[in-house]
Amino acid sequence: MPTVDRVLPDETEAVINIPDLPDIADAVDNGDSEPEPRISIIVPALNEAQNLPHVFARLPQVDEIVLVDGGSTDDTVAVARRLRPDIRVVRQNRKGKGNALACGFAEATGDIIVMIDADGSTDPMEIPRFVEALRAGADFAKGSRFRPSGGSADITRLRRAGNKCLSVLVNVMFGTRYSDLCYGYNAFWSHCLDVFDLDHTSPAPNNTDGRLWGDGFEIETLLNLRAARAELKITEVASFEHNRIHGVSNLNALTDGMRVLRTIAREWRPRRARTAARVAERAAR
């Protein structure tokens, strides 16, 4: 097992001192009168010790960082604590990125919650854009690689095609105008947690892969669909996705794509039931 010192690159000290990182309050122009919202960053991480120094070096000043560890076998937690002594480390109770986010959201104390990846794909320097969208009136600021000035160095042709098809499907079924359904960079006001209604307490089922529904990479779709169903004000924010810096992806385009598809089907049912109830109510009048 490598020690913390060995896995940290040379820029570590600069990261710990954080001398001149942009302050979100400076980066976001919102007038003088509004109180500053407290910002929590949620970082799901599974064996990302080598990537965390790069990610944290680009974090603007925020009020709280919550790292959700998925049982990493490298020095992820030690590196995170070394880089940011103020970090809150949470251990997820089941498996999967979705469960990690649910556990992190439950611990967050900020008014605004931002979810970023720990592998260097999502650039923390973009956080002020998301905060700006929220402070301009959105409930949910949804990252998109396919808005003008967005992009990706990471997405494969298969994933791009799958994401496109799934986005079109959702737009037709849910009346949304999403340009990027399956992207993990989003931010929202904490009141949205009621709408998302994620389960962060149930124990892991022992007859499957240890995941409940929503615990995997389908989490982003789930959030997008529940936000749409609740008619939250949603703004897409252009974002550039970088290559993972070190390590390998945990995502499987086919099996995780199927989970996304099943998520769409499952989330469609309550919508149908609600519409039917409304029709019945009208008929009874």
Ligand X SMILES: Nc1nc2c(ncn2[C@@H]2O[C@H](COP(=O)(O)OP(=O)(O)OP(=O)(O)O)[C@@H](O)[C@H]2O)c(=O)[nH]1
CB 121 within 8 A of CB 154: yes
Q: Which long-range contacts (CB under 8 A, 24 or more apart) does 87-90 make?
A: 88/64, 90/66
β-pairing verdict for 234-238 and 140-144: parallel
**Residues 202-241, mask of contacts with ligand X (x by CB under 6 A):** ---------------x------------------------
To ligand X, the closest distance from the beta carbon of 281 in angstroms equals: 41
Distances from the Cα of 185 to the Cαs of 9, 181, 203, in angstroms? 25, 11, 27
Q: ∠ at Cα 159 (257, 145), nearest 5°?
A: 115
Look up residue 210 and give its two tokens: 């240890």
**Which class for 44: exposed (0-12), middle (13-18), buried (19 or more C-beta within 10 A)?**
buried
Given 69, 75, 139, 236, the residue binding ligand X (CB under 6 A): 69
Residue from the set 12, 92, 144, 263 that interacts with ligand X by CB under 6 A: 92
- Asked if 145 is part of the footprint of ligand X (rule: CB under 6 A), the reply reads no
Binding site partner of 250, from Mg ion, ligand X, none, Cβ cut-off 5-8 A by kind: ligand X
Q: Which of 121, 152, 221, 239 touches Mg ion by CB under 5 A?
A: 121
Is 230 or 250 the residue whose CB approaches ligand X more closely? 250
Ranges within 100-129 binding ligand X (CB under 6 A): 100, 117-119, 121
Tell me how many residues contact Mg ion (CB under 5 A).
Answer: 3
Q: In angstroms, give the least distance from the CB of 90 to ligand X.
A: 9
Site string for Mg ion, 243-282 (x = CB under 5 A): -x--------------------------------------
- Name the minimum Å distance from CB 260 to ligand X: 11
Q: Which of 39, 48, 146, 224 binds ligand X (CB under 6 A)?
A: 48
97: partner contacted, choices ligand X, Mg ion, none (Cβ within 5-8 A by kind): ligand X
Q: Are 123 and 101 in contact (CB under 8 A)?
A: no
Relative orientation angle of helices 97-107 and 219-229, to the nearest 10 degrees? 60
At 229, the amino acid letter reads R
Tell me how far, at minimum, the Cβ of 92 lies from ligand X, in Å: 5
CA 75 → CA 4, 48, 87, 104, 132, distances in Å?
Answer: 7, 8, 15, 19, 34
* CB closer to Mg ion out of 58 and 233: 58
DSSP assigned state of 19: -
- What tokens does 119 get? 């592998």
Nearer to ligand X, 50 or 139 (CB): 50
CB 112 within 8 A of CB 131: yes
DSSP letter string, 25-73: HHHS---SSSPPPPEEEEEEESS-TTTHHHHHHTPPB-SEEEEEE---S
| 257 forms part of the interface with ligand X (CB under 6 A) | no
Give residues in contact with ligand X (CB under 6 A). 44-46, 48, 68-70, 92, 95-97, 100, 117-119, 121, 154, 184, 217, 244, 249-251
Give residues in contact with Mg ion (CB under 5 A). 119, 121, 244
